[in-house]
């Protein structure tokens, strides 16, 4: 009995030792698996952080690109506004000027005698009224001549002191019909180009469509209006847009941005917008 008990205890002891060994090995394997899993988790976290950083960098890059484009747009708008302001200031500076085309040139002429002759003999204005005008200065302007055409008189420019006198002067322009003489507001070079282009279009309209035309300006816009009677015609419903680029040397650097001329033909209203 004693021997059996001793044998049984030895067996139990061996069994326990075996189980303990297996448990230890299992624990070691479990530690290894846990370590590998921990490493895997760390690697995944690092990959996620890299992806987040990469995504953030891309978003930052796109935001910077959007900011740069917006900045360029703002700078272009500021330059455009500055150019328009300069154009308006130049137009205002010419507010009291009148250009006259077609007045015959005389040898050793006196510009004021030419002006008096225009007012009295062409515009049918009384001498006392002419003498009442306050004029700052006046002179001929050298003009480019087309070698294929006969030499035309250089235009005259007169600067009034009072705008009311200037408007009175221009209001008598209808008396020059058929005399190859005209008088118009003095405008900045780009607006003159627009007006000249519209004048050519207006001549074609009068010749081919037998309509009346009138050119006027508002702000930096030059407008050609047409009518077939005393009332403005609004019968047309078709619109045409034509873009022209001002390439004449007379366009100064300050007008570079505003040298694009837009001709809008819509409802019998022809508009040149300088921007």
Exposed e or buried b per residue across 205-215, where buried means at least 16 C-beta atoms within 10 angstroms of its C-beta:
beeeeebebeb
**Per-residue confidence in pLDDT tens, the chain, 275 aa:** 455 566 676 766 676 766 667 777 777 777 787 778 788 878 777 777 776 677 777 777 888 888 888 888 888 888 878 888 888 899 999 999 999 998 988 888 899 999 999 899 999 999 899 889 889 999 998 877 666 656 788 899 999 999 999 999 999 988 888 888 989 999 998 888 888 888 888 888 888 888 888 888 888 888 888 777 544 443 332 323 233 333 333 443 333 333 333 344 333 444 444 44
- Beta-bridged to residue 239, according to DSSP, are 266
Q: Give dist(CA 123, CA 146) in Å, integer.
A: 29
Position 152 scores a pLDDT of 81
DSSP 232: B
Position 6 scores a pLDDT of 60
Yes or no: say if 244 and 197 are a contact pair by the CB < 8 Å rule: yes
Fold of 95-186: Alpha-Beta Plaits (3.30.70)
């Amino acid at each position: 009995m004693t021997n059996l008990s001793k044998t049984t205890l030895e067996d139990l002891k061996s069994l326990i030792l075996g189980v303990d060994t297996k448990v230890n090995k299992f624990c070691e394997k479990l530690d290894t698996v846990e370590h590998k899993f921990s490493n895997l988790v760390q690697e995944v976290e690092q990959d996620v952080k890299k992806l987040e950083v990469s995504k953030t960098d891309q978003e930052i890059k796109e935001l910077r690109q959007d900011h740069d484009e917006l900045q360029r747009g703002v700078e272009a708008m500021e330059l455009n506004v500055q150019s328009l302001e300069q154009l308006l200031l130049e137009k205002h500076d010419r507010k009291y000027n009148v250009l006259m085309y077609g007045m015959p040139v005389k040898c050793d002429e006196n510009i004021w005698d030419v002006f008096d002759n225009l007012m009295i003999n062409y515009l049918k204005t009384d001498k006392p009224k002419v003498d009442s005008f306050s004029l700052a200065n006046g002179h001929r302007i050298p003009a480019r001549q087309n070698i294929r055409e006969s030499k035309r008189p250089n235009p005259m420019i007169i600067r009034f002191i009072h705008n009311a006198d200037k408007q009175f002067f221009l209001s008598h322009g209808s008396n020059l019909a058929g005399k190859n003489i005209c008088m118009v507001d003095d405008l900045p070079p780009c607006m003159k180009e627009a007006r000249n282009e519209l004048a050519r279009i207006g001549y074609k309209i009068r010749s081919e469509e037998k309509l009346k035309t009138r050119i006027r300006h508002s702000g930096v816009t030059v407008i050609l209006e047409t009518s077939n009677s005393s009332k403005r015609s609004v019968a047309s419903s078709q619109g045409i847009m034509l873009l022209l680029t001002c390439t004449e040397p007379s366009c100064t650097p300050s007008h570079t941005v505003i040298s694009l001329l837009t001709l809008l033909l819509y409802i019998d209203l022809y508009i040149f917008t300088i921007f």
